[in-house]
């Protein structure tokens, strides 16, 4: 039975992100289906607010227990956004010796934290990086905005990373494409023709900007959805967004979106826990979602882990086109749009034969996004023969995330 340590990013500190927790949990569940002994590793950034930190860690512990990871997690505190270069000296709810013993016997570190401490990375005999920001990660590396310590294997959920003639460089690495996983046993088919709204869950705004010389653009869902603000006027299909909202501008834009016909919910109220997030998706008629501009600029053929959850639940999806794909359909359970008119037509086609598209959505999840299949591919490559020499540098050039 292989032992795998999964290094997640910011789930303990983002307790209200029920969907964010599922991103990593899907990999855990897929690996466990294959018989792996899985542990969770994460840095917890301290804020100086002891009450908030205690509440966040209590929530995290409860989630670990609920999903079979009680006593199988190693969380270390850090007061910096970028982890220190040295090894952690202590862990929450575990002693240092216990952690070191697990690291010593682990067959693989499956790492999602791009700026992980090199010293911590060096404790593992085999390491694999998982790129869940295809195009962006390679951009950050090539522009010197991020150092990625050396790993043995590199995976990406971007179908077009490093592809000849594409827009995303390989950074001199052998990127192995994988599909964003969904555990089909945990996400069963839920057909209900009474469900009304096409929905999605998203963070509305952030400080994300892409700066490349003289070119710069805001890389947020806010900008993406505002470009489709008038979509409700083109369709009778109810549309609802569950959004993580913060400042005054967010609230003003919420009112404007509602004025144009959107239903807006606070994600904290409907998707703050993994269970709430799942219920929200499974009570939806389907998904409608836009993507950040970087996905379109890089043409990365990206599919959201959230979309995989809708598909597994038998919920058809209408999602923005992110580039040429060798396996993604356009018209059977999944519709990929580039204009508001295309999105509106997709709703008509789905609603004309709703059950057919619900079944097609589930078949897509079974064929392409099954967590067990993704986990099997990861293990096959990561625990197989050593990767070529070009994956053997000490670190990729660049500086830390700015």
The structural domains of the chain, with segments of one domain joined by +, span 3-181+371-391, 198-368
Nearest to 114 by CA among 137, 135, 142: 137
Q: What are phi and psi of 61, to 5 degrees?
A: -60, -45
Nearest to 356 by CA among 318, 312, 314: 314
Neighbours of 356 (CB within 10 A): 14
Using CB atoms within 10 Å of the CB of residue 370, give its burial: 0 to 12 exposed, 13 to 18 middle, 19+ buried.
Answer: buried
In the chain, the N- to C-terminal Cα span, in Å, equals: 40
**CA–CA dist 191, 282 (Å, integer):** 9
Q: From residue 268, how far is each of 67, 128, 242, 361 by CA, in Å?
A: 21, 33, 8, 27
Architecture of domain 198-368: 3-Layer(aba) Sandwich (3.40)
pLDDT one digit per residue (tens) for the chain, 402 residues: 899 999 999 999 999 999 999 999 999 999 999 999 999 999 999 888 899 999 999 999 999 999 999 999 999 999 876 667 788 989 999 999 999 999 999 999 999 999 999 999 999 999 999 999 999 999 999 999 999 999 999 999 999 999 988 999 999 999 999 999 999 999 999 999 999 999 999 999 998 999 988 889 999 999 999 999 999 999 999 999 999 999 999 999 999 999 999 999 999 999 999 999 999 999 999 999 999 999 999 999 999 999 999 999 999 999 999 999 999 999 999 999 999 999 999 999 999 999 999 999 999 999 999 999 999 999 999 997 554 443 444 455 443 332
* CATH topology identical between 3-181+371-391 and 198-368: yes
The pTM (predicted TM-score) of the whole model is 0.95
Class in CATH terms, 3-181+371-391? alpha beta
């Amino acid at each position: 039975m292989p032992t795998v340590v999964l290094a997640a990013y910011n789930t303990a500190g983002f307790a209200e992100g029920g969907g964010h927790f599922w991103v990593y949990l899907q990999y855990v569940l897929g690996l466990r289906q294959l018989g792996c002994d899985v542990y969770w590793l994460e840095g917890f950034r301290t804020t100086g607010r002891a009450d908030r930190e205690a509440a966040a860690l209590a929530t995290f512990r409860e989630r670990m227990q609920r999903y079979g990871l009680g006593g199988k997690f190693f969380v270390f505190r850090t007061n910096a956004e970028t982890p220190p270069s040295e090894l952690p000296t202590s862990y929450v709810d575990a002693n240092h010796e216990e952690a070191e013993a697990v690291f010593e016997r682990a067959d693989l570190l499956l790492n999602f934290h791009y700026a992980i401490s090199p010293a911590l990375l060096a404790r593992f005999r085999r390491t694999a990086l998982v790129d869940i920001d295809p195009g962006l990660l390679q951009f950050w590396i090539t522009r010197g905005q991020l150092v990625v310590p050396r790993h043995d294997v590199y995976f990406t959920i971007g179908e077009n990373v490093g592809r000849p003639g594409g827009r995303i460089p390989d950074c001199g690495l052998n990127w192995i494409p994988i599909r964003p996983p969904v555990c089909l046993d945990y996400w069963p088919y839920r057909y209900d023709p009474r469900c009304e709204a096409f929905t999605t869950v998203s963070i509305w705004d952030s400080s994300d900007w892409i700066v490349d010389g003289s070119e710069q653009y805001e890389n947020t869902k806010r900008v993406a959805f505002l470009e489709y603000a008038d979509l409700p006027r083109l369709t009778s299909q109810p549309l609802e967004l569950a959004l993580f909202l913060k400042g005054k501008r967010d609230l003003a834009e919420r009112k404007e979106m509602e004025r144009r016909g959107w239903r807006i919910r606070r994600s904290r109220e409907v998707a703050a826990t993994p269970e709430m997030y799942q219920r929200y998706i499974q009570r939806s008629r389907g998904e409608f979602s836009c993507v950040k501009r970087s996905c379109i600029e890089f043409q990365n053929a990206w599919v959201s882990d959230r979309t995989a959850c809708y598909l597994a639940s038998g919920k058809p999806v209408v999602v923005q086109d992110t580039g040429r794909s060798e396996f993604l359909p356009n018209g059977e359970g999944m519709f990929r749009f580039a204009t508001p008119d295309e999105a509106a037509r997709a709703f008509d086609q789905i609603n004309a034969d709703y059950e057919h598209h619900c079944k097609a959505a589930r078949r897509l999840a079974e064929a392409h996004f099954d967590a067990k299949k993704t986990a099997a591919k990861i293990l096959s490559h990561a625990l197989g023969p050593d990767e070529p020499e070009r994956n053997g540098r000490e670190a990729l050039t660049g500086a830390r995330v700015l």
